[in-house]
Structure 1
Amino acid sequence: MAEGGTNKMSFHLEEKKGDLFSCPSTFSLAHCISEDVRMGKGIAVLFKKKFGGVEEIKKQGVKPGGVAVLDRSGRYIYYLVTKVKYSDKPTYDSLRASLEAMKDHCLKHQVRHLAMPRIGCGLDLLKWEEVSLILVETFHDTDISITVYSL
């Protein structure tokens, strides 16, 4: 594209205080899990209660760096698989690869709005400064809006 061209994407990253699950029901949701799909701590417990699908996720057989997806009435719930076991810690590379996989799914299925917690930054101990940069690097060339909720 020539400099000054009008092919401008409208990617937007917004941070909000509040409950992730209070976002509009038209938003798809994302969070990080391990390949063993334990979801026994943190926000993962709430995802498991709200959307179920543990066996459905396991059947997808997603490895670290991939994304498992549940379709809940046309609303996608993304499970970024960033580590093998729940007790492991993800790397920025595995998170980046999972985000790329999610981005591909979003583009294929016309997802325009994503809501997520500060992924990888709770129990997984990644630094938000790094993670937010990876989000911007991954999605800057899309027209997807991402709202990040923190309590």
Structure 2
Amino acid sequence: MIQTSLQSSTPLLADPSVGRGRRLLWPAVSAAGATGFVLVAHLLDPNQPGNYPTCPWLLLTGTFCPGCGTLRATHALSNGDVLEALHRNPLAVATFVVLVLGFARWTRRQWRGERRMTAAPAWLLYGLFWVIMAFWVLRNVPGWTWLSPE
């Protein structure tokens, strides 16, 4: 018996009975949540004392976590100051770029009705983990103030 390849060059389509509006529900909800986050970070300046609580990790250990400075980076980006955002948390800025690109890809796939993609490969997830761990350690090295959010 001869086997044929099950893969085709055309994208696999989702259930055609599901309309575009329903397929775009979760991208719309995600966009609304991200917009709310940016709006709050823009309106309530994290550089002003008392607007937000202190990072629990910083409060307990006196060291910076990988997320320290993300609110200030978001505030700076919402004001158009990319250099200030990079100074506050370069990893957060890079993450925002990847998230926007991933969101655009996801929304396009939903618009077209293509099936869901599989999860990221393990090597990518492990690599991301080690990048975060390295950033965490390096931003707390004495004298490396260029990675600290202050």
Q: TM-score, normalised by structure 2?
A: 0.24
Q: TM-score, normalised by structure 1?
A: 0.23
Larger radius of gyration: 2
